[in-house]
Amino acid sequence: MYRIQINHMDLDQIAKSGQCFRFERKEGHEGIFSIAAAGNYVEAVKEEDSFLFSCEEEEFHRFWAGYFDLEADYGGYKSHVDSEDTYLREAVKWGWGVRILKQDLWEILITFLISQNNNITRIRNSVKKLCSQFGEEKKGKGLTLLADGSFMEEERIYHTFPTPQALKAAGSLGLSSMSLGYRDKYILSVAEFASEPEGNAWLMELLEADYNKAHEMLLKQYGIGKKVADCVCLFGLHHVGAFPIDTHVKQILESHYPQGFPLERYHGYAGILQQYMFYYKLNHVQTKESVPTL
């Protein structure tokens, strides 16, 4: 186990921020979160002024520190918010612990294809089904709370996110039982493409591309529109200047920024501020939706 102090981070807020679908509070385990990412697994809990992770220090700094974007200055981003922008300042105050995770490109590509005209609960369920059915079963370490208030490590079984080859092999028949609806054809198309050398090279090129080039490349893929392309850029490629506009963000812009959001003022990190507003909209401001739709 490894303990570390991290500022500007709240596990529950990140889990509810709509950017990750295998980062969730464990049922019946107060305060413990399970996180599966890029073939890795960890459980985490907040303890007073520090976080406890079910991994060793070497693994944390090799993978999870990057995943949580610990080198970025989130305090600096917040300090640059316009003092007269009361809505954004309130959103930042409300979602102070949200960070943009550095997630696996392939997983983000598939999960945000699933997200189209969908809600967070259904997305999580579809992703869980995909991983259980077509991912690789592995063993990891989790946290268990003891009677004396301390934690011990215990073995956990988890599933990795399915590879392009696994989803291609599943075919339309296999994917049709994953509660994907019309999105299954988009997923099968990109899985077939990414399974081939040309598609693998395309993924590698995406990782090296700047925002404009990556966005252009993504829009050429079947089933990917502007919103999904921006989500992939922000969450899968960590272009934190990307500013996805879904139904919630569109409502925010119409209500609070009728002349448009000041993207130039926040050039290079507008996507981080978008996440504060998105989180605030979903988790504080009451909307008509019973379940948030992406």
Our answer to whether residue 227 is catalytic in this structure is: yes
Q: Which residues pair with 139 in a beta bridge?
A: 157
CA angle 210, 72, 282 (to 5 degrees): 85
Q: Long-range contacts for 283-292 (Cβ within 8 Å, ≥24 apart)?
A: 283/13, 283/16, 283/94, 283/95, 284/94, 287/248, 287/251, 289/119, 291/119, 291/120, 291/121, 291/122, 292/18, 292/119, 292/120, 292/248
Alpha-carbon gap, residue 174 to 233, rounded angstroms: 28
Annotated catalytic residue, options 16, 102, 168, 227:
227
Q: How many distinct helices (H) and strands (E) make up the chain? A: 14, 7
Active-site positions read 227
